[in-house]
Amino acid sequence: MDSNKIQCLVDKGVISQSDANTIISFSGLPQGTSELLTILAALAINNNSSSSVSGPVIGTQSIGPVNFSTPTALTVPAGASKAVITPFVNSAVFRTDGGDPTTTAGHFLAQGSNMILTELNNFRFIAASATYDTTLFVTYY
C-alpha cells in the first residue's frame, strides 16, 4: 500500500499516525498483506465501538501473584463497567461465565497482551502454567 493511501486513512481518522508508520514498515511482507492488515484494522476500529474504552479511569488494580490452582476474581470498584486487563507477569487462563478456569478449560491470555472486558463480575483467572505464577494489571472505566 503506498504512503498516499495510508495517509488518507490517517486523515480520515481510521488509523493513527503510529499505526501508519507500522504499516509502512511491513515492506517485507508478501504483496497485498499490508493492505489486508489495514482493511482488517479499519473494520475492527469502525465496527467494534463496544470494545473501546473511554471516560474517566475509575481505578486500577494489580492482582497477584496467582498460581494455577487458585482461581481469582476481580475486585471491581463501584461504577466500573469496563476494564483493560494485561497479564503483566506470565500468561493467564480466564473464564467470564463465573466458572473456575483450569489449565485445560478457559481462554488463554498471553503475557503483555491486552483485553477489554465488559463482563466484570464473572471474570476469574489462574496462571497458565504450574511452574510460573501470574500477575494481572487492571484499569477500570
- Under the banding of pLDDT at 50, 70 and 90, the label for residue 55 is confident
Query: Is the predicted pLDDT of residue 37 greater than 70, yes or no?
Result: no
Domain 59-140, classified CATH 3.40.630, yes or no: no
Query: Is the predicted pLDDT of residue 77 greater than 60, yes or no?
Result: yes
Q: Which residue is listed with cell 476469574?
A: 124
Any idea where the domains of the chain sit in the sequence?
Answer: 3-47, 59-140
Q: List the end-to-end C-alpha distance of the chain, in Å, as a whole number.
A: 36
Q: Mean of the pLDDT values across residues 74-85?
A: 95
The pTM of this model reads 0.63
pLDDT in tens, 83-132: 999 998 999 999 999 999 998 899 999 998 999 999 899 999 999 999 99
Per-residue pLDDT, 31: 55
Decide: helix, strand or coil at residue 63: strand
